């Protein structure tokens, strides 16, 4: 995201100081010039609002979070869009994030730590009762105000991130605090947030994360398969009951966790009350005796003659013990010195080979002799699937399904080395379809990059000796090089850059089409989008040879009143009969008026017919069906 200049205006807000920057945007301390107060203004990345559907989803999620009004939740004041920039105005809370306090090892009392978690659970209980799940509870989303109040931040943002980043190959969320069902795309419930609260409480008590690894895959493996170290081994002073609360919150089975925030809050409150509400020890007056109070009361109520008799007997016993302790004791004769013959100790056994830490190291390590042949066969099948995914470019491009596939294989390898054959077998079997899906996703990325290069190639050739030809040719050469290196997303971007250079100069020749008629018509409609963006009627006529003079004049008038044109054509099922095809097509046009102003969007449905020609499929007729 590009950095915004200080004191720039975004709608009614004046930006003053940047507070923070992360994956979900930049947060500024901003001044509301209408209400005249300071707010925290979050400017969201452009990817969230790149389409009208995404903008509507953003508004819907932000409004759902905006209805939450609670002392332990950061209040949302406003949301909207200004100059293509989506923003959320929130309550400005002066203070520190809990993550900063943990990183600094702030010496917080145990009672204060529990107070913080109780307030977090109070805010979550309020949100959960209204059907809102946070999905990204972590210390950096917990704000401790200057007056000690606890505020949960970023409600609704994590869901937006999930919706808009899934499919990019990135892992959404913070792996150290993710519940297992988030890793495996399971159902998200209130128990998901409580798992994250368990991670937060574990770290707050021990100053260590419950799940750690050298790589993201290592962390995911820990979350899915490994129990964290017992809390009291790192924080021995905490009550055993508190360790049980954390263990229940961190249960990997959602049904075995706390099902809502209230029961967990009550459990923590009970421990907090026990810490602060224990009865103080009474200070006893000085006494000549160390007898317990009940015995002392019994003695003081005994008649005097009995007390004298008992004391006399105790005195006699004391004298006898003193006499015995001072009587001489016969010492045994000393033994003669013994000669001790020492023998050289045997050499220490050789140190075992270091345990491999990464997945590749475990795969490369030799398999122990005596391993079950059926287990070896399952392992070979999983490794073969992994290799096929690698050859397709899944590792190079970090496709969506790769993280889960690698985590499952890591689990299998660890279980096999630990002798747990049943667990290893299940993990090997589960990894195969995930690697197969990762391979399919990589092949799809390769096809997208290939198609982008195919579309850009005729444009670069058509530029010939124009001034921008060198730049377009350089971008195309870079795309081809990246494609050969299997870096498909970057290859696609480089090819699109070459294509846009030509479109900006009005060059948009047809792209070579595949043999399949439906696929060819899909390429034709993509070319049509590019021809409209070029704002040249001649490029439209190449795709629509039978365009009438009136239609050409209508397009010319449209190009005169609109700029920064974007068009998309989405066909419904295409019917093909010999050399003729028909389809209803949804057309969407986005543009900015020549005189300036906000972006406009127009939608219409078209009845289009297509015909096969020696040069490929072309548009034969178009009829407007209305909106």
Complete DSSP assignment for 433-451: HHHHHHHHHHHHHHHHHHH
Can you say how many angstroms the Cα of residue 287 is from the centroid of all Cα atoms in its chain?
66
Q: What pLDDT, in 10s, does the model give residues 392-447?
A: 999 888 887 888 888 889 999 988 988 898 999 999 999 999 999 999 999 999 99
Task: List residues bridging with 54 in a β-sheet.
Answer: none
Does the pTM of the predicted model rise above 0.85? Answer: no
Contacts of 454 (CB under 8 A, 6+ apart): 511, 512
Contact 622, 607 (CB under 8 A): yes
Please give the angle made by the CA atoms of 91, 96 and 98, to the nearest 5 degrees: 110
- Return d(Cα 378, Cα 429) in angstroms, integer: 7
Question: Is 620 annotated in the active site?
Answer: no
Contact 620, 582 (CB under 8 A): no
Rounded mean pLDDT, 369-373: 87
Contacts of 382 (CB under 8 A, 6+ apart): 409, 412, 428, 429, 431, 432, 435
Q: What pLDDT, in 10s, does the model give residues 8-51?
A: 888 888 888 888 766 566 788 898 888 888 998 888 766 565 66
Residue with tokens 């795969």: 363
Residue with tokens 């079997």: 429
Burial string for 429-464 (b: 16+ CB within 10 Å, else e) reads ebbbebbebbbebbbebbeebebbbebbbbbbeebe
- Return d(Cα 175, Cα 192) in angstroms, integer: 13
- Return d(Cα 625, Cα 606) in angstroms, integer: 5
171 pLDDT above the threshold of 80:
no
pLDDT at 493: 78
Radius of gyration of the chain (CA): 37
- Return d(Cα 449, Cα 476) in angstroms, integer: 11
pLDDT at 164: 43
Q: Give 163: exposed, middle or buried? Use CB within 10 Å, 0-12, 13-18, 19+.
A: middle
pLDDT at 528: 92
Looking at 32, 136, 193, 527, which residue is catalytic?
Answer: 136
> Higher-confidence residue: 6 or 374?
374
pLDDT at 155: 73
Q: What pLDDT, in 10s, does the model give residues 264-323?
A: 999 999 999 888 764 433 333 334 444 444 444 444 455 566 666 666 777 766 666 666
> Phi and psi dihedrals of 347, rounded to 5?
-65, 145
Of 210-224, 241-255, 351-365, 588-602, the poorest mean pLDDT is in 351-365
């Amino acid at each position: 995201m590009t950095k915004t200049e200080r004191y720039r205006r975004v709608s009614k807000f004046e930006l003053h100081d940047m507070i923070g920057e992360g994956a979900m945007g930049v947060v500024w301390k901003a001044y509301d010039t209408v209400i005249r107060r300071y707010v925290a203004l979050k400017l969201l990345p452009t990817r969230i609002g790149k389409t009208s559907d995404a903008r509507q989803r953003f508004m819907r999620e932000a409004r759902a979070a905006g209805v939450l009004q609670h002392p332990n939740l950061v209040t949302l004041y406003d949301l909207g869009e200004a100059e293509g920039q989506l923003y959320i105005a929130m309550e400005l809370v002066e203070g520190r994030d809990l993550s900063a306090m943990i990183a600094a090892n702030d010496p917080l009392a145990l009672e204060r730590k529990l107070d913080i978690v109780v307030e977090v659970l109070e805010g979550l209980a309020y949100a959960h009762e209204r059907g809102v799940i946070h999905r990204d509870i972590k210390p950096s989303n917990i704000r401790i105000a200057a007056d000690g109040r606890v505020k949960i931040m970023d409600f609704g943002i994590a869901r937006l991130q999930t919706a808009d980043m899934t499919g990019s190959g990135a892992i959404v969320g913070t792996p150290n605090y993710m519940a297992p069902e988030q890793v495996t795309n399971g159902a998200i419930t209130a128990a998901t947030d409580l798992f994250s609260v368990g991670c937060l409480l574990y770290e707050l008590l021990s100053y260590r994360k419950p799940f750690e690894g050298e790589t993201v895959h290592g962390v995911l493996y820990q979350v899915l398969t490994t129990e964290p170290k017992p809390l009291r081994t790192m924080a021995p002073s905490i009550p055993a009951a508190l360790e049980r609360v954390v263990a229940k919150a961190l249960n990997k089975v959602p049904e075995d966790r706390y099902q809502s925030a209230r029961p967990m809050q009550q459990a923590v409150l009970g421990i907090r009350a026990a810490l602060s509400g224990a009865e103080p020890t009474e200070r006893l007056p000085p006494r000549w005796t160390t007898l317990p109070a009940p015995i002392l009361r019994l003695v003081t109520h005994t008649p005097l003659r009995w007390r004298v008799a008992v004391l006399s007997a105790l005195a006699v016993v004391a004298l006898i013990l003193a006499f015995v302790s001072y009587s001489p004791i016969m010492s045994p004769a000393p033994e003669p010195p013994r000669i001790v013959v020492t023998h050289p100790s045997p050499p220490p056994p050789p140190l075992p080979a270091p345990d491999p830490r990464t997945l590749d190291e475990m795969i490369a390590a030799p398999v122990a002799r005596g391993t079950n042949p059926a287990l070896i066969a399952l392992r070979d099948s999983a490794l073969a699937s992994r290799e096929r995914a690698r050859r397709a470019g899944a590792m190079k491009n970090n496709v969506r399904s790769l993280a889960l596939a690698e985590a499952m294989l890591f689990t299998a390898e660890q279980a096999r080395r630990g002798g747990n054959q049943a667990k290893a077998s299940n993990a090997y079997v589960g990894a195969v379809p995930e690697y197969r899906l990762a391979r399919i996703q990589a092949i799809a990325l390769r096809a997208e990059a290939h198609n982008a290069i195919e579309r850009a190639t005729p444009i670069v050739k058509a530029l010939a000796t124009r001034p921008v030809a060198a730049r377009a040719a350089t971008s195309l050469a870079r795309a081809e090089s990246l494609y050969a290196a299997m870096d498909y997303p970057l290859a696609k971007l480089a090819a699109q850059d070459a294509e846009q250079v030509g479109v900006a100069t009005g060059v948009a020749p047809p792209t070579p089409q595949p043999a399949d008629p439906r696929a060819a018509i899909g390429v034709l409609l993509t070319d049509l989008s590019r021809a409209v963006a070029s704002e040249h009627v001649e490029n439209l006529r190449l795709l629509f040879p039978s365009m009438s003079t009136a239609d050409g004049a209508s397009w010319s008038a449209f190009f005169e009143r609109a700029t920064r044109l974007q068009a998309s054509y989405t066909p419904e099922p295409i019917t093909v009969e010999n050399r003729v095809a028909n389809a209803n097509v949804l057309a969407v046009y986005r543009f900015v008026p020549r005189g300036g102003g906000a972006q406009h969007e127009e939608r219409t449905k078209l009845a289009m017919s297509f015909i096969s020609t020696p040069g490929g499929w072309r548009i034969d007729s178009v009829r407007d069906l209305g909106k």
